[in-house]
Structures are given as structure tokens and as C-alpha cells.
Amino acid sequence: MNGLFSEVFLSALLFGAVTAAVPLLLAGLGEQMSEKAGVLNIGIEGMMLAGAYLGFVGAFYSESLWLGFLTGAAGGAAVAALMALLCVRLGLNQIVIGIALTLGLEGLTALLHHFQFSRSYPRLPAADPTVIPLLADIPVIGPAFFRHHLLVYLAVLLVVVMSYLYRRTQLGLNLQAAGDKPAALDVAGIDVIRTRTIAVLTTGALAGLGGAYLANVGAGLFIPFITNGAGFLGIVLAMLARGRPVWVLFGALLFGACLSLTTAMQVAGINIPTDVIQMLPFLAVMIMLVLFGRQASLPAALGIPYERGAR
């Protein structure tokens, strides 16, 4: 049992927690924006997969991690564009299309991966961490939190940016109005369709970025179904966070910690099925819901397509 509490082990555990949390954070922040604007984005798992695949492909061929992140975000946004066209512009059922996009991208990325990489299974070189001076030298905490890839810090910074965006800018007001009372936004002279489209595209880009991080930094390679439900976890986080970006961060860290613990226990050879630990965050959330589960304050127009002057 000594191994569990050694400094090295603990910082590795925390390091892993952060690494596992980043894709969830990005997906959750993305989903949150869609939901705020009134679009329930069930296709986010597909967007993450598109991001993971294209992000890997981009990084692999360009040999630049950052170009990989860019292609990943673009891939997620491309899938989101399809969703925006179908669900926001044409007003098709968001759940049906979301499920279709998730299934389709699961299949498509697995298919493309098979024809491209299944013989070689190439890996990317380990990502260079950005070491934060001074802080990185603190025992345990330093290696756990301050020796990550730059994108990790940017993702955390994004929480602040999002909070500012929602609370202090015109766009934040527009997004909230699009979700709570789209007709009011429309008569105020702002295009509801455009506002929601921006939200969905942002969601796609963030989810794609999350997927790219997962493949390029977390795993160093792409494998089919690599997201393994991370997008759905993002939906859960966004719904539980009720519009507050910082809660997405806390939630992502909680889930990330449990994921990391699972891996750590496998490494340490401890004889508890990892599934028990994987259950913990869901169990905690469900218990919280049962105990405090009052009317979840979701946007009033969530899931309802907007049609101007509908009678």
C-alpha cells in the first residue's frame, strides 16, 4: 500500500486527472454554449471523434501539434456546421440528428482509420510540456499541475473567458435570450438563427479541440471510438453546471480524477475492478440529484427550433 501514497505516485495521479479532465472540460464548455442558446447537442460525441481523427491526421502529417489542434477544431466545427444547418436552420429534431451524427462519425472515423493506419498504428512523439517556472518545483503539486501542455492552461483560461462572455458581453446576453426567449431576441433585431449557429459552431470547435487533445496529447495516437463516451459526459456536465463554466471545470476534474485513479490502480496492480471507481463520479452525481434534485433550470426553449412568426 505504500506505493499508493508516495509522492511520485500522487503527482502522477493528479497529472493524469488533469489530462483526463481536459477533453471533458472542452466538451462540457462547448455543450454548455449550445444549451445556453437553446440547442441540445447530442452529436457532440461525433464532433469529438471528428476532432480526434482530424487532429491526429493533421499533427501526424504536419508534424506540428498545434496544426493538429487546428485541424481537430476545424473537423469538429465542420460536423457542427452540418448540425447547425439541419437543426438550427431547417429545424429538424435535435435528438435524432444528434444521434445520427454521433453514430455516423463513430463509423466514419473508424473506417478511415482502418484504411489509413490499421497496419502501422503510428504514434505521435510525446508532447512537450510547458513548465511553469517556480510553481513547477513545488513538490507533488508542481509536477501534477504545472508541467502540462500549453493547451491545458488555455483550456482553464477558457473557463474565465466564457464566464466573462456570458456575464459581461452583448454576445452572452444574446445567447441567453436565444435559449430562454428566442422571439424576444428576434424582435430586438438580432438574428436567432445566426446566434444559435455561432453557438453550435463554437461547440463543434471546442469538442473537436477536446478530441484532438485526447488523441494527440492524451494518447499520442488515434484509435476507433477513442472518446469512449467523453462527449456524453460533456452533455452531463453541461446540464449539471446550469450555465456556469466554473462548475464544468469542477465536474471535469472530478470525473478526470476518477478516470485517472482507475488507470493508476491498474498500474499499481490493486485488485479492485476499475469499474468500481468509474462508477463513483456518476454515483456521486446521481445521489446529489436525488437529494437536491429540484427542477433543473434548463433554458426554456432548449430543443425547440425557432421559426419566426410561427402561428
Partner 1 sequence: MSIDGASTASATALDATSAAANRRDVLHRLLMTLGPIVVALVIAGCILLAVGVDPLAYYGYVLERGLLSMLGIQQTLTRMAPLLFLAAGLIVAFRAGMWNLGGDGQFLLGAVTSAASAPVLVEIMPVWLAWICAFVIATVVAAAWSLVPALLRAYHGVNEIVTTLMMTFLGTSLANVLVKLIFRDPGTTVPQTRTLPVEERLPRLFDTTVTSGLLLGIAAIVIVHLVMTRTAFGLKLRIVGANPRAAVHAGLSVPGLTIAVFAISAGLVGLAGAVDVVGVQGNVRADWNPAYGLAVIPAVFLARMNGFAAIGFVFLLSVLSIGGESAARRMGVPNHFTLVLIAIVLIVLAIAEYVDHRYNQSRKA
Partner 2 sequence: MSSRASPSAEARDIVALEGVTKRFPGIVANDAIDLSIRPGEVHVLLGENGAGKSTLIGMLSGLQQPDEGRILVDGRPVPITSPRHALALGIGTVFQHMMLVPTLTVAENLALGGPWWQRPRTGELEAHVAEITRSLGISVKLQARVAELSLGEQQQVEILRALLRNSRLLILDESTSMLTPKGIDELGALMRRLVEKGLAIVFITHKLKEAVAFGDRISVLKLGRKVGEIPPERFRSLGEEEIIAEIVALMFGRQNDESDTKERPVGATRTGIAPSLQVTDLTVAATDNEPGLSSISFDIRPGEILGIAGIDGNGQKQLAEALAGQRVAAGGSIRLEGTDVAALSVGERRRRGLRYLTDDRLGEGTVGTFPVSINFFLKQVGQAPLWRGGLERRGEIDKRAADLVREYDVRTPSLRTPIARLSGGNIQKVLLARELAEGAKVVIFNKPTYGLDLANTLASRQRIRDTAARGLAVLLISTDLEELLSMCDRIAVIADGALVGTVDNVDDARTKVGRLMIGLAA
Residues that bind partner 2 (CB under 8 A): 168-171, 173-174, 176-177, 180-181, 183-191, 300, 308-309, 311
Q: Which of 9, 10, 78, 93 touches partner 1 (CB under 8 A)?
A: 93
DSSP letter at 146? S
- Of 10, 67, 81, 99, the one binding partner 1 (CB under 8 A) is 99
Site residues for partner 1, window 184-243 (CB under 8 A)? 224, 229, 232-233, 235-236, 239-240
Least distance to partner 2, CB of residue 89, Å: 15
Out of 80, 97, 159, 254, the only residue in the binding site for partner 1 (CB under 8 A) is 97
| Cα gap 222→307, rounded to integer Å | 40
Torsion angle, alpha carbons of 66, 165, 35, 242, to 10: 110
Please give the grid coordinates belonging to residue 149. 501542455
Verify binding: residue 107, partner 1, rule CB under 8 A: yes
Q: How many CB atoms lie within 10 A of CB 116?
A: 15
DSSP secondary structure, 43-76, as one string: THHHHHHHHHHHHHHHHHHH--HHHHHHHHHHHH
Q: Does 304 bind partner 1 (CB under 8 A)?
A: no
Listed residue (44, 49, 41) closest to 27, CA to CA: 44
Report what 248 binds from partner 1, partner 2, none; CB cut-off 5-8 Å by kind. none
User: Which window, 11-19, 71-79, 88-96, 180-188, contacts partner 1 (CB under 8 A)?
Assistant: 88-96
Do residues 209 and 3 make contact, with C-beta atoms less than 8 angstroms apart?
no
Q: Which does 186 bind (CB under 5 to 8 A by kind): partner 1, partner 2, none?
A: partner 2
| Residue reference for cell 450555465 | 243
Q: Answer yes or no whether residue 94 interacts with partner 1 by CB under 8 A.
A: no
Give yes or no for residue 122 binding partner 1 (CB under 8 A). Answer: no
Residue of 18, 70, 101, 265 that binds partner 1 (CB under 8 A): 101
50 binds partner 1 (CB under 8 A): no
Provide CB contacts within 8 A for 255, sequence distance 6+: 20, 21, 24, 233, 237, 281
Q: Shortest distance, CB of residue 60 to partner 1, whole angstroms?
A: 18
182, amino acid identity: P
| Burial (0-12, 13-18, 19+ Cβ within 10 Å), 280 | middle
In the complex, the residues that contact partner 1 under the rule CB under 8 A are 40, 42, 86, 90-93, 95-97, 99-108, 110-112, 114-115, 224, 229, 232-233, 235-236, 239-240, 273, 275-276, 278-279, 282-283, 285-286, 289-290, 293-296, 298
